[in-house]
Amino acid sequence: MIKLPRPLINELLMQAQRNAGEEICGLIGAREGEASTVYPVPNGLHDPQRFVMDEAGQIAAFKAMREAGETLFAIYHSHPGAAAYPSATDLAESAYPDAYYLIISLNTKGVLEMRGFRLRGEGVEELEVGLSSY
């Protein structure tokens, strides 16, 4: 199970809603294994069907995470017009096998959906997303 604090979940869902015209993306840092901070990274493609994290934004996010004493917990992005499930591109471009991957879908008739995964090579393992007590 991927446990996330409610304020963090709310922040991710609001980002996806505010930017419904393109995929949002970013990183989530953790302290002592608990998700703690959202680091939004601009989508360098500004595309509703694909994302590539802006290189400078990604470097800045990892630097801020390191300076805060955090480790990479998850990578997130949205699918404005598709299901919250990894695409073939998501699988091919996944580069952090130890991180969780969170996908937020806006394609559920007004209801946002967020699902969590481990992506390893061609393998997709879905994990339940729940609230942490933090």
Q: What is the pTM of this model?
A: 0.94
Question: What backbone phi and psi angles, to 5 degrees, belong to 111?
Answer: -110, 125
Question: What backbone phi and psi angles, to 5 degrees, belong to 130?
Answer: -135, 175
pLDDT in tens, 30-71: 999 999 999 999 999 988 889 999 999 999 999 999 999 999
pLDDT in tens, 61-107: 999 999 999 999 999 999 998 999 999 999 999 999 999 999 999 87
Residues 6+ apart with CB under 8 A from 94: 75, 86, 101, 119, 120
Confidence band of 112 (pLDDT split at 50, 70, 90): confident
Which of 101, 102, 103, 52 has the alpha carbon at shortest distance from 81?
103
Residue found under tokens 């598709």: 82
Per-residue pLDDT at 108 exceeds 70 = no
Residue found under tokens 């991710």: 12
